[in-house]
Amino acid sequence: MTRRSVLAGTGSALPKRAVSNHELAKTVDTSDEWIVERSGIRQRHMAGEGETTSTLAIEAANKALAAAGVSGADIGLIVLATTTPDQTFPATATIVQDAIGANGGIAFDVAAVCSGFLYALGVADSMLRAGMAQRALVIGAETMTRLLDWDDRATCVLFGDGAGAVVLEAREVAGEGPGILATHLHADGAHNELLYVDGGPSTTQTVGHLRMKGREVFRHAVANLADVLANVLAECGLETSDVDWVIPHQANQRILDATARKLGLPPEKVVVTVDRHANTSAASVPLALDTAVRDGRVKPGDLLVLEAMGGGFTWGASVIRV
């Protein structure tokens, strides 16, 4: 028997307002045709008044708790991945902790941009296996639209807001049993200038705007994701044919297609939400996971591979038996 972090429940939340490409094209020099062809995005949800990273995170967390059949008081660890915290400090995780009544346990944020959820999952899994808590809430929550420069059409059409959450439970399981089997995480700070925000408390004392050299990020993304997926599966002694569902970061339909092609993964095994959610950074993987759990695609016993790549660069992948 091995102590593993088992997926006990998932949840997600989206802002009320969905904005189509057509609506965006009324104020941005773009078209539905360009956005769909280059990215696969058809709409995104945008946070409105009263909707923040923490309100979305709390809604997703409560749904994940309900799905797991536990309450906030049962949660000893909250790791929240975000690039768009409510405030510079305290950590948004502590706002969630108070709202769900989990006070007294561990709560902190993780900043790894679009790979944030994979980093948060890896950290929470390590802490659960080390015995620092029995049950964890891992959240990816973002209001990326508040970082956008609406005069930069090459970036402002690509992002959206939302949150996703999972409850992880430490259990003693047999080798073939459920749980996180392996997580690989990487970073390469040499590529900071390809994807970054041009502000921050220590430099400009402003929040800043998202900047991206999309074409170069695209190239790195496909290469890094194919590598990390192959390596994490190899560590588990698994083949791509063993995978039931790939739950990828949702940046661009063409990245999803190119990565699947490179690994010989059938496209029908890849969960796609980029058309409806756009790129929600750290929220995109748990949003896609919750979508596939709730529509009945992901079933007990399935083998999942989660993967993401983003600013830093950071990237990672995790193999989970449901």
Which parts of this chain interact with ligand UT7 (CB under 6 A)? 30, 34, 38-39, 114, 153-154, 157-158, 214-215, 217-218, 221, 251-252, 255, 279, 310
Place of tokens 């790195």: 220
Please measure the distance between the N-terminal and C-terminal CA atoms of the chain and give it in whole angstroms: 17
User: Nearest distance from residue 289's CB to ligand UT7, in Å?
Assistant: 17
DSSP string, 56-69: HHHHHHHHHHHHHT
Q: What is the dihedral of CA 173, 174, 179, 183, to 10 degrees?
A: 120
Which one is catalytic: 114, 156, 184, 252? 114
Closer to ligand UT7 by CB, 152 or 244: give it: 152
Instruction: State the nearest-atom distance from the C-beta of 153 to ligand UT7, in Å.
Output: 4
- Say whether 104 sits in a helix, a strand or coil: coil
Q: How far is the CB of 190 from ligand UT7 (least distance, A)?
A: 16
Token output for 60: 């997703």
Minimum separation from the CB atom of position 312 to ligand UT7 (A): 10
- Reading the block at residue 291, the tokens are 């979508």
Amino acid identity at 249: H
Complex with ligand UT7: residue 68 or 158, whichever CB lies closer = 158
To the query of whether residue 114 is one of the catalytic residues in this protein, the response is yes
Q: Closer to ligand UT7 by CB, 117 or 135: give it.
A: 117
Q: Which is nearer to ligand UT7, 125 or 307 (CB)?
A: 307
Q: How far apart are CA 166 and CA 147, in angstroms?
A: 25
Phi, psi of 197 (to 5 degrees): -115, 130
Question: Judging by beta carbons within 10 Å of its beta carbon (0-12, 13-18, 19+), is residue 236 exposed, middle or buried?
Answer: middle
Q: Please say which residue, 7 or 258, places its beta carbon nearer to ligand UT7.
A: 258
Asked if 249 is an active-site residue, the reply is yes
Q: Contact, 310 vs 286, CB < 8 A?
A: no
- Is 4 in a helix, a strand, or coil? strand
C-beta of 211: minimal distance to ligand UT7 in Å?
A: 12
Tell me, rounded to whole angstroms, the distance of Cα 201 from its chain centroid. Answer: 24
Annotated catalytic residue, options 45, 184, 249, 277: 249
What is the rounded CA–CA span in Å between residue 106 and residue 297?
A: 33
- Asked if residue 307 lies in contact with residue 122, where contact means CB atoms within 8 angstroms, the answer is no
CB-nearest residue to ligand UT7: 214
Rounded Cα–Cα distance for residues 7 and 184 (Å) = 18
Least separation, in Å, of the C-beta of 161 and ligand UT7? 14
Which active-site residues does the annotation give?
A: 114, 249, 279
